[in-house]
Every structure is written in C-alpha cells, then in structure tokens.
Amino acid sequence: MVDNNLKLKTREISTEENIKENESEVEDEIKSSERSINDILSTLKDKQEEFSQMISEYTIFNKRTLVDVIESTDSITIIADLPRLKSEDIEIAISEDSVDICAEMHEENNENASYILRERSYGKIRRSIKLPSKIVANDAEGTYKDSVLTIILPKEKKNILRLKID
C-alpha cells in the first residue's frame, strides 16, 4: 500500500510539474504572441505614417492649382488661385502653346508648436496649361493681387493673304 501511495504522490507531483510546465509554456506562447502582435501593430503604424507622408508629398508635388482659362477672339486669359504666396515665390514660363506656373509654399517655422490638426500643404507646386491656340509670348501681361494670378496672353494673329484673281 505504501508503494501505491508513493506512486500516487509521484504521479501527483509529476502531474503538478506538468501543469506548471504547461502553464509556463502557455505563458511563453502568450508573451511571444503579444510580442508578435505588438510588432505587427508597430509595423502597421510605421507603414501608416510612411503612407500618410507619401500621400502628403504626392499631393504637395502634384497639387492642382485651381485655374480658369478663358478664350476670347483676341486673347487667352489664365486666372490661378495661389494662396499664401508672395509674387517672388512664383515663376511663370510662357511658350507659344503652353504656360507653366511654378511656385513654392514655404513652411512656417513653428518649432514649439504642437499641432492637433495639420492640413495645409507646403512645398513646390507646378501647373502646366496647354493653350487652345498659339499666342505671342513676348506680349503677355500678368498681375498677382489678393492671391490671384491673372495672365493675359494675346493670340497670334494669322496672316491671311487674300489673293486677287484676274
């Protein structure tokens, strides 16, 4: 009988040891799983920040300046909204069939600012406008007032030769 009790106690001890080992293994697996989940979440957060930055850079780089192009019989007028810019920040290149507007929006230097929401974009913008007819680039005129750029482009006059037939 003593032997049976010893065997039972030995089995109980080994069962308790197995339970403790199993608990320890389960705890290790849980900790490992938690680390993996935290790594995944951390990676997702980093990727989300990278993606947000990439989208922000994309929208800054490809920012569409709002433009109206108006054609009359003798000229083409371009009106562009360029808020928060100074005239010296704007470059305009004109050819006989297109106009390129380039500008750079400088970031305000708020080192101590703690932004809650930040939606305004900074950086370079570029807008290329294909013209519906040829213009005389040297005679172009432009003004920039109240964040609105206006460019007046005189159309090229067609030299039409009228031939008299006898």
Instruction: Report the chain (166 residues): mean pLDDT per 10 consecutive residues.
Output: 54 66 82 90 84 65 76 95 89 94 83 80 86 93 95 88 81
Burial class of residue 123, CB neighbours in 10 A (0-12, 13-18, 19+): middle
Residues of the domain holding 141: 67-154
Q: Are residues 83 and 56 in the same domain?
A: no
Distance CA 128, CA 78 (A): 11
Count of C-beta atoms within a 10 Å radius of residue 86: 10
Residues 125 and 53 in one domain: no
Rounded Cα distance, 149 and 79, in Å: 6
Question: pTM value?
Answer: 0.56
Q: How far apart are CA 47 and CA 40, in angstroms?
A: 10
Amino acid 58: pLDDT: 57
Measured CA to CA, the distance from residue 61 to residue 55 in angstroms comes to 10
Domains: count for the chain: 2
